[in-house]
Structure 1
Amino acid sequence: MTFQPITHLRHVDLAVPDFETQRAFYGTTWGLTEVAGDSGLAFFAAEGSPEQYVVRIRKDERKRMDLVAFGAVSPEAVDELAVRLGRAGVQLVHEPRALDTPGGGYGIRFFDPDGRVVEVSADVAVRDHRKIEEREAIPVRLSHCVVNSQDPEGLRDFYIEHLGFRLTDTLYSTHMGDLMYFLRCSPLHHSFAIARGPHVSLHHASFEMRGVEEYMRGTGRALRAGTRLTWGPGRHLAGDNTFSYFHDPHGNTVEYTTELAVLEEDLWHPGRHDVDDPVTQDQWGTADPMSESVAKEQFNDPDVLFEAPPV
């Protein structure tokens, strides 16, 4: 039986030089709730999510993605993952142990082949959360995370082999080859995706809204606050989800989305979608056409690699 330890995406952790500006953006403009913090550290939850937090902000002289975190089915799965990674020669940041972040739990951290830090944890306490009301334009949950890689094929194979992700769809160009791999760990179309980029970095973090009305209201709120819209509003073909891409104050791309496709996994066959077809990028035709300049908006700055964050 295939080893599939991962249940869902938990959180994305970012480090930035201007901590207070970043903190204000995620807590006010973006609509998350600050639930914990320390000197130079802030944790943000989504009101509709049982996760203790979906974004962590840390003050550092260097901008970076500290880590991406996934949930595991059990502590035993975390232990088995550690054994499997060890046999494969994967470099661990730390062995399975009790976590001292909000909600506790039991987890492991390691470097993926690109050098980014990955955390996998189980038994994290569930946060009290609530139903997001009609026209309440704040994120329900963290939807998915996409990363840039110079070797997307190798990274795709790593997450499939070692973490049990499944390939859902591929974006490709007849001139440039495969450009993005969508990976799932549940019936949701994707929780993680890998884009071909000029360097290793965060491509974007996406936040699910209650519905299209709330998605559009959130897009409008961000625009009125002066947040830079880099692409959208529109609706992708792969995943069938809406998109509005913005830059946070440090140039990380964050997305409002909704209505991500839920698959019948037993019946699903991975598709291939040509990015040169405008419908692939935006079924509605409301966003600017995909171009080299639009694509560059999600390249981000080169990340800090094979160096674990201090917390």
Structure 2
Amino acid sequence: MTERLVSHLRYAALAVPNFEEEKNFFIKHWGLTAVQSDEGLVHLAAEGSPEPFILRLRDDEKRIDLVGMATKNRRDLHKLADKLHAENVTFIHEPQELTQPGGGYGFRVFDGDGRVLEFSTDYELRASRKIREREPIPVKLSHVVFNSADLAGSAQWYIDHLDFTISDSLVTPTDVDLMHFLRCNRNHHSIAIAQGPHHSLHHLSFEMRGIEEWMRGSGKILRAGTRMIWGPGRHNAGDNTFAYFLSPAGNTIEYTTELAVLDEDTWHPSRMDTSLMSTQDQWGTAAEMSELVARESFNDIDEGLFVAPPV
């Protein structure tokens, strides 16, 4: 196996036009903690995660600002930067000291579709805590899923340049690719890419402590008046539970738990037929996947491609 230089997913950063409403939703209802808040910018942490923050919101037109990933150390970070330079990846800035919560050292690039990726290391960890039994708040950011108008090309960029590996794929009954689940460590996926009509955010997923906390969290969000798009259920790919909601800004966000951790020496990817109910939901408790559900997850066209965010 090729040595991976990317160690794990750190955070997602979104720009939203209804900043105060979105900020209040993620703090009051979703269960995140504000660690730094300025005018039009907030960094939100998960109580169970040592990451300095797992979600950043910025007041602006709707877009994915960036996705942050980590390397184990500066040696790996510089090796990754050298590799990406040699492969003619477009840099936004070179390795430098970072000024965000937790600090650190890192660089930013555009991926093949124009999304901004940040790679960092040597940042200060946050004092986290064990989430209590039945406490319905996220433990950490689980994964980020993109829509792409070119599924094959988008996924191949992560494979070629970042050494991600396909864990499983969703396909049509005629074996046409619909979604690839990509991993950078033993977690089944940290990034996934879905075939869509345009480039956009498909969803952000937040890990809960366990099934009980996941169900209580889902009930809490429903009682807050938030619309559940799909769930509750349990996927086949990744073996994780799912409950998808629509945030006030119209982004799909997920509570999940028990994402599969793989033995990479023995794992073989599967191609799962989405026409089989068990592919989408092993339990059969969620409504069947429909065009209405898919349309919500297509989201609005991301207008931020190949445009670096101001922070």
2:10 aligned with 1:19: no
- Aligned position for 1:54: 54
Q: Using the aligned pairs only, state the percent identity.
A: 58
2:34 aligned with 1:34: yes
- Aligned position for 1:134: 133
- Aligned position for 2:65: 66
- Aligned position for 1:89: 88
Unaligned runs of 5+ in 1: none
TM-aligned CA deviation for residue 161 of structure 1? 1.6
TM-aligned CA deviation for residue 302 of structure 1? 0.6
Q: Distance in 1 between matches of 2:203 and 2:177?
A: 18
- Aligned position for 2:43: 43
Mapping of residues 46-195 of structure 1, within 5 Å: 46-60=46-60, 62-175=61-174, 177-195=176-194
Whether the 8 Å CA contact 1:40–1:58 is kept in 2: the answer is yes
Mapping of residues 272-287 of structure 1, within 5 Å: 272-287=271-286
Q: Distance in 1 between matches of 2:254 and 2:174?
A: 27
Whether the 8 Å CA contact 2:7–2:70 is kept in 1: the answer is yes
TM-aligned CA deviation for residue 164 of structure 1? 1.6
Local SS of the residue matching 1:22: helix
TM-aligned CA deviation for residue 176 of structure 1? 7.1
Match of 1:41, as an amino acid?
Answer: L
Local SS of the residue matching 1:262: coil
1:11-57 CA-partner distances (Å, limit 9, x unpaired): 00011111110100110110001111211100100000010000001
Q: What is the total number of aligned residue pairs between the two structures?
A: 310
Whether the 8 Å CA contact 2:13–2:65 is kept in 1: the answer is yes
Whether the 8 Å CA contact 2:49–2:139 is kept in 1: the answer is yes
Q: Name which of structure 1's ranges 192-201 and 73-82 shifts more when overlaid on structure 2.
A: 73-82
TM-aligned CA deviation for residue 81 of structure 1? 1.6
Q: Distance in 2 between matches of 1:275 and 1:6?
A: 30
TM-aligned CA deviation for residue 90 of structure 1? 1.2
Match of 1:162, as an amino acid?
Answer: H
Whether the 8 Å CA contact 1:3–1:163 is kept in 2: the answer is no
Q: Distance in 2 between matches of 1:18 and 1:293?
A: 24
Unaligned runs of 5+ in 2: none
Q: Distance in 1 between matches of 2:112 and 2:86?
A: 15
- Aligned position for 1:267: 266
1:46-76 CA-partner distances (Å, limit 9, x unpaired): 000010000001011x111100111112112
- Aligned position for 1:246: 245
2:233 aligned with 1:234: yes
Q: What is the TM-score of this pair, normalised by structure 2?
A: 0.98
Local SS of the residue matching 1:298: helix
Q: Distance in 2 between matches of 1:283 and 1:301?
A: 29
Q: Where in structure 1 do 4 or more consecutive aligned residues deviate above 3 Å?
A: none
Match of 1:165, as an amino acid?
Answer: F
Q: Distance in 2 between matches of 1:250 and 1:18?
A: 6
Match of 1:251, as an amino acid?
Answer: G
Q: What is the TM-score of this pair, normalised by structure 1?
A: 0.98
Whether the 8 Å CA contact 1:140–1:209 is kept in 2: the answer is yes
Q: Distance in 2 between matches of 1:172 and 1:73?
A: 34
1:157-210 CA-partner distances (Å, limit 9, x unpaired): 111121121110000003471001001111111111110111111100000001
Whether the 8 Å CA contact 2:172–2:178 is kept in 1: the answer is yes
Q: Distance in 1 between matches of 2:305 and 2:186?
A: 31
